[in-house]
Structure 1
């Protein structure tokens, strides 16, 4: 009775403890809102980015995004804590039962006499297919085709044969059905020879068969050869039949939806290239925080530059313009775009919801709702694919490195003088040079599909090379830190040769 009472007391105390802990666990699992999120519910009017030249040092423009990063880190810790819950495994007793049963099964098998296989049959209980009858003129005894379940190798007894050996033996029996005896008076060897020729496609003409059985791996490309990139008609997403027309349309559209190349000198009085670079660097962090697709970032920069080309704005409202343009681009590209309140929160509630919406309407009206604009990312996808088809460079390293160089170009105001297609082609040129400094980066295939000669890329490649080597500076670390991660193969940490040889820009050599 005393033990029963003690057990009941322990049970009641444990239940009371679990009841007391349940609200705390529910609060942790539900994810209590951080202090920053609570502050978002009470927006307070603050100065936007202030003097953008001092934003990097004081981190005024990054307070909102940094606060989001803290929330994300907390969620990651919570996820890691919940993910360490041990998986329920079988009990020790059940494992012992399995071992006992397996031992008894092995013991029962070992007590049986060892079966002896012969070409006429087997000692197993299952029915064996009888051997085929042979003509009297050919006294050849063919071994029977034994089913996989009853097949036992002569070298192994039933005691020592494992499951893996049985499965491998069964798989080896799943070869093409050979005819041991052919119809007519032909011999077994002739029959097997004909079947082997039919299956292996062996032909006397080695040149013809060699042409048929070429590997998919491409040989080193010659100078005058052009690889066919649009030959995959099975993948509908590649649009092989329309790819060339789509590219020509994008080349035509990029000339009509480009920003002015000198709007900071002629139109803006309170904004300089350094402020523009700081804003874009901050938008890269926002896009990375909300996991937006790269096209959203490129379109955001395009909307900002096109709006600044015809509207004067002061530095206090520059961050508001960037947030409104990213909201528009996210609605255009994303499946689930962030809400307006989210963009107000990442600015540390510097702007109210109505201000963001008013700026959004102003941008849309000025751009006349022409939101489709070719960006370097549109051309980069095709150019990287062309470079990967006829090259032995690592595919992912080339793709990530080209994306890194193209995103660095967004920070540089002077690169607006080059069309997006030229920037994308130059990014591929520089990426191939970084991966293989001794090999000419440009070839006939790239020149054919990009419609750019190597000499036409010289100035833009040198500008990107200088930007890659020197870097955007310590006050603009977002893109470099982004591509220094493992998921991007650490391409931002690659070393670049100090000079691109002038011979690589000669059209005759490439």
Structure 2
């Protein structure tokens, strides 16, 4: 009996070994592309089974198309067996409804529902209906943020709809915002706070800044912003007359950093001051100006409004240059420090239109500027008085600048008669 059991077990072991060898040979033929040996190479340490197989051999799976399809069929049979009955009942109900009604709309709706239907178990809840996000409540915009439509006769930005740099969709909103922002930068005559300065000293400084702007070929926006920064700083901090040029040149440096693409270096500003100041002094006054203004240096300037309002009536470049001449001359007068930039720009444009005999303040200008003629009369009369006064021989930089052919020699044009100006102001 023991012999018989041993023989039987030996035969069984032989059969088992033959089956394993056959399976191994079959697997070897099927996995010719994946060759990974589980035994370590000669001389390598044994694999430490306390940790996982760091060779990732246990993650290698062999893809067999035939077996994969058979396994997928088995999984489909198991997962779909519970929902076959409910799906067949749903299809029967749909077919009965289609045959009874027979309308194309119902047939199309049933086809869409049949495509979108997913298998569900018997105890699953029905699918929720999609939420209509395009409802009237979702589309409602609060009244305080709704954009006011611009009348067609006052639309000056639609021609630039293809120019992204002109921002035609937001141009009016931008200038309306700048006009509201002017209220934060209203100044008064600050000369009472400056015991060592006078209006004439300030005029000499502005005349010198215009000369620097020409020599450095800076933008006009840089010049106007530098003047604004100087006025706002002087309205807060009393300084000695020896520091006035340093304040002006430093304000111009800050404006260059804000407006210019390639601002001049600090050494250039020290050079134009004849090296009267040191680099540390300029850096120190720059920090002091920024702190005094709370680093809020984006001050609305009249030059931007003037260019905007000139587009409303499509004036020529010569008329716009004449208005710029009036506006730049006003920089030297302390009395115009009180004026808002948008109002000053409107007054300069109105005076240029009257000088060129191009009409008065039309409705489109009133719409975009927000000013009526009654609002501009005091500023226009003040401009006319300034230009009518005899010029100082030491303050001729602006007049010489606008006497050049590049600027259409507008400084040499005769000043409009006061009676003609008053008549235009009364009829507008």
Which residue of structure 2 aligns with residue 246 of structure 1? 174
Are the equivalent residues in 2 in contact too, given 1:226–1:444 (CA < 8 A)? Answer: no
Taking the aligned partners of 2:401 and 2:283, their CA distance within structure 1 comes to: 30
Distance across 2 between alignment mates of 1:273 and 1:387: 36
Three-state SS of the structure 1 residue aligned to 2:313 is helix
Give, in angstroms, the shift of residue 227 of structure 1: 4.2
Q: List 4+ stretches of structure 1 deviating above 6 A.
A: none
Structure 2: gaps spanning 5 or more residues: 1-151
Is residue 481 of structure 1 aligned with residue 400 of structure 2? yes
Are 1:306 and 2:232 counterparts?
A: yes
2:416 & 2:295 partners in 1: Cα distance? 44
> Which one of the candidate residues 255, 261, 264 is aligned to 1:338?
264
Aligned to 1:504: 424
Report the equivalent of 2:242: 316
C-alpha separation in 1, matches of 2:218 and 2:391? 22
Given candidates 272, 279, 300, the residue that maps to 2:198 is 272
Are 1:435 and 2:356 an aligned pair? yes
SS at match of 1:255: helix
2:154 and 2:367 in contact (8 A); partners too: no
Equivalent in the alignment of 2:383: 464
TM-aligned CA deviation for residue 445 of structure 1: 1.2
Residue 157 of structure 2 aligns to a residue whose secondary structure is coil
CA radius of gyration, larger in: 2
> Aligned ranges for residues 82-481 of structure 1 at < 5 Å?
226-232=153-159, 233-258=161-186, 260-265=187-192, 267-388=193-314, 395-436=316-357, 440-470=359-389, 472-481=391-400
- For residues 385 and 483 of structure 1, what CA distance do their matches in structure 2 show? 21
Contact 1:454–1:504 (CA under 8 A) maintained in structure 2: no
Tell me what 2:410 maps to.
Answer: 491
Q: Residues 326 and 348 of structure 2 are in contact (CA less than 8 Å); yes or no, is this contact kept in structure 1?
A: yes
Q: Aligned partners of 1:326, 1:317: CA distance in 2, in Å? A: 14
Mapped to 2, the partners of 1:369 and 1:376 lie a distance apart of 21
CA distance in 1, matches of 2:312, 2:390: 27
Which residue in 2 is equivalent to 1:26?
A: none
Conserved 8 A contact 1:279-1:322: yes
Tell me by how many angstroms 1:318 deviates. 0.4
Matched residues, number:
276
In the alignment, what sits opposite 1:145? Answer: none
- Give the superposition deviation at 1:472: 4.2
The structure, 1 or 2, with the larger RCO (C-alpha pairs under 8 Å, 6+ apart) is 1
Counterpart-to-counterpart distance in 2, 1:469 and 1:386 = 28
Over aligned residues, Cα RMSD in angstroms?
A: 1.7
CA contact 1:408–1:472 (8 Å) conserved in 2 = no
Summarize deviations over 1:356-384 as a string: whole Å, max 9, x none: 11111110111111111101012111011
Q: How far apart in 2 are the matches of 1:227 and 1:369?
A: 36
The unaligned stretches of length 5 or more in structure 1 are 1-224
CA distance in 2, matches of 1:344, 1:314: 19
